[in-house]
Homo-oligomer: A and B are copies of this chain.
Amino acid sequence: MAAKKLNAFYAQSGGVTAVINASACGVIETARKHKDVMGKVYAGRNGIIGALTEDLIDTGKDSDAAIAALKYTPSGAFGSCRYKLKSVDQNRREYERLIEVFKAHNIGYFFYNGGGDSADTCLKVSQIGESLGYPIQAIHVPKTVDNDLPITDNCPGFGSVAKYIAVSTLEATFDVMSMAKTSTKVFVLEVMGRHAGWIAAAGGLASYKGMDLPVMVLFPEIAFNKDKFLAKVDAMVKEYGFCTVVVSEGVKGEDGKFLSDQGLRDAFGHAQLGGVAPVIANMVKDSLNLKFHWAVADYLQRAARHIASKTDVAQAYACGKAAVELALKGRNSVMPTIVRTSSRPYKWTVGVAELKDVANREKMMPRDFITEDGLGITRKCRNYLAPLIQGEDYPPYKSGLPQYVRLKNVPVKKKLKTGFALK
């Protein structure tokens, strides 16, 4: 008697991106191609929470066309979550529940699509075969706009944010260049990146050989020095008439405190949350008396599938596909990676990393990617970043809007009598 085919569980975790659904598409399409050896793909509604609460989605209920449309749809089609599993020792109950759900639905493959925290969760799940005696193959699919996973050349999701920030910085800098004579002279753009400055670095791509623009970058890796910063703004405005400052949300002062944390109070004395962009802009105004504008890109940057990098989309899809292939080769506790084999022309293949080498390690900007003054990117950084924003991959449009797909997300009938209370 042939062994019963095992089903797969797929879930999205953490902050979503413009291309995480392209990875989902890679997982589901590849599983569909291997129907002879892999059963159904069940997605967790809202990530791992879907597994814990037995809230599974039958991806088989969506057509090939709908699944293909995931490749050009931003956000997490099945819902994501911010929920970190503790260790087996600390919360055995959660792992036992996962096994209960996996058993009930004949799940033998666990695909977890996320960043550093999620790699840690995936690693823990990969170990329950050994620790709790339930055979599961857990494969992590890399995803994070922060680009802070180790080993892999870059992280799916990053290339598209980088492209958005590079294009937006270029466009806004052209704008301020037009206005500088009588109006705005300094434009400040706040971008994501609480710990690592990769996204801010992408702003530096807006100025390049043949397109000399005064763009400054503030990284979380470099303690903010107000005097040096203002001196550079002043110098740039004197030379060019204007400048653009791309600032990471996570920039800290020399005291180690977030620059955005200014203890703002409204007229009634209530604490107000602000971004770092207005703080920087106010500094420019108070000290140099220059007219400014500021923007905070926030979710717009990571959701901007309309200007996704073609390279990024291809890599996100390839990682999803590779995850299924690794599973079918019997691998456990691994993550597909992007391996750069050449920078010019950019060539890459898909490799594999052990999850124990990935989890809980953050990859910061190397010091030699940042100019000596701490306010720009080096040629080495440019060579690394430039290929990642290559190529456009436009979604289809109808009536002026991208035709993003919403799946049916049909629930799988529950088999367990017990529920599960999330902590």
Q: Which residues from chain A sit less than 8 Å from chain B, CB to CB?
A: 12, 15-16, 18, 46-47, 49, 73-77, 79-83, 163, 166-168, 170-172, 174-184, 187, 189, 205-206, 208, 211, 262-267, 270, 272-275, 277-279, 281-282, 285-286, 293-300, 302-307, 309, 386, 389-392, 394, 397, 399-402, 404, 406
Contact = CB atoms under 8 A, between A and B. Distances in A.
A16 B272 contact: no
A402 B49 CA distance: 41
Nearest to A18: B171
Contact of A309 (B76, B182, B400, B402): B400
B302 A175 contact: yes
A368 to B, nearest CB: 22
Nearest to A12: B178
Contacts of A73: 174
A81 B183 contact: yes
A174 B386 contact: no
Contacts of A302: 175
A47 B305 CA distance: 36
A2 B400 CA distance: 50
Contacts of A389: 400-401
25 contacts: A12-B178, A74-B174, A74-B175, A75-B171, A81-B181, A82-B179, A83-B182, A167-B401, A168-B304, A170-B404, A171-B300, A171-B304, A172-B299, A176-B299, A211-B406, A262-B266, A262-B267, A264-B265, A272-B278, A272-B282, A275-B278, A295-B298, A297-B300, A391-B400, A394-B394
A303 B172 contact: yes
Contacts of A303: 168, 171-172, 174-175
A399 B170 CA distance: 13
Contact of A306 (B182, B205, B282, B307): B307
B166 A400 contact: yes
B171 A305 contact: yes
